[in-house]
């Protein structure tokens, strides 16, 4: 079973000074896991924030994701070395294939082998995938084995609970990382979540994150506001009861927010 932190800070859509401040604030508040990606265009700024934080590298858990242009075996490792230079580190803790991009001409056998080689070289401690459906996860497993795949990072929120894929990943012993857990903020206005939040004297974001954590998922919410970063962290202390969990389970509506043409697989 993989060993990935259950709570981290995401950096999607944050660039420049905004991402430096967000990561710096998160580390200051006690976050130790930071999630970025080559396509976010912010690895250098994340690296600057990590380096300036004074937190020992061994206490940090840094994740990046390989972009589709770098999947070919002659490109993947050089691109990861480039990411490491930007991040100012000799290794990342986790490297993911960002999107399966089924039409881009590079097969899972090629990029998963290259990713396994990057791990063998010590450039990354763990490897995994992101946005993979069951069939593509099976193809990845066929190349490196299920024990080598630390996580599948997928869009997962109360509105998109991805039960079929989650059940498969659980069966394989592959951890689930939920991104967009708050569905771009849409769930924060949900009356059911609001009611549960009032009952626990918590925020809707805390309730939603606690729900995901209680289901055993890792979460990586982002925020540009220090008070929200601090507040999100408190979700780890919130315990929802069975009734709360059942009410949130009933919010499923296949509410997918992200499915880019050419990058996304056929969803389960």
Q: Is 98 annotated as a binding residue?
A: yes
Q: Which residues contact 89 (CB under 8 A, 6 or more apart)?
A: 47, 50, 57, 62
- Which helix or strand (DSSP H or E) is residue 37 part of? none
Q: Is 145 exposed, middle or buried (0-12, 13-18, 19+ CB in 10 A)?
A: exposed
φ and ψ of 64, to 5 deg: -130, 170
Q: Is 42 exposed, middle or buried (0-12, 13-18, 19+ CB in 10 A)?
A: buried
The verdict on whether 40 is a catalytic residue reads yes
Rounded Cα–Cα distance for residues 238 and 200 (Å) = 8
Tell me the β-bridge partners of 151: 175
Residue count (the chain)? 268
Rounded Cα–Cα distance for residues 211 and 187 (Å) = 12
Rounded Cα–Cα distance for residues 207 and 205 (Å) = 5
Active-site position among 31, 40, 71, 159: 40
Just list the catalytic residues: 40
Specify binding-site residues: 98
Specify binding-site residues for substrate: 98
């Amino acid at each position: 079973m993989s060993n990935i932190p259950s709570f981290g800070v995401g950096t999607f859509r944050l660039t420049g000074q905004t991402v430096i401040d967000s990561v710096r604030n998160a580390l200051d508040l006690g976050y130790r896991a930071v999630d970025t990606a080559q396509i976010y265009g912010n690895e250098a700024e994340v690296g600057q924030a990590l380096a300036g934080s004074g937190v020992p590298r061994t206490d940090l858990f840094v994740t990046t994701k390989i972009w589709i242009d770098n999947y070919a075996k002659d490109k993947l490792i050089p691109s990861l070395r480039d990411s490491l230079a930007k991040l100012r580190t000799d290794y990342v803790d986790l490297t993911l294939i960002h999107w399966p991009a089924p039409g881009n001409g590079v097969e899972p056998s090629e990029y998963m082998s290259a990713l396994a080689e990057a791990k063998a070289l010590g450039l990354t401690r763990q490897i995994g995938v992101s946005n993979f459906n069951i069939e593509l996860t099976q193809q990845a497993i066929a190349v490196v084995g299920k024990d080598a795949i630390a996580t599948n990072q997928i869009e997962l929120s109360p509105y998109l609970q991805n039960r079929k894929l989650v059940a498969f990943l659980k069966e394989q012993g592959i951890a689930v990382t939920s991104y967009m857990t708050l569905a771009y903020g849409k769930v924060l206005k949900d009356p059911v979540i609001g009611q549960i939040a009032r009952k626990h004297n918590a925020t809707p974001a805390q309730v939603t994150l606690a729900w995901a954590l209680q289901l055993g998922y890792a979460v990586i919410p982002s925020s540009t506001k220090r008070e929200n970063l601090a507040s999100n962290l408190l979700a780890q202390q919130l315990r929802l009861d069975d009734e709360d969990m059942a009410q949130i389970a009933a919010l499923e509506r296949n509410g997918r927010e992200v499915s880019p043409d050419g990058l996304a697989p056929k969803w389960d």
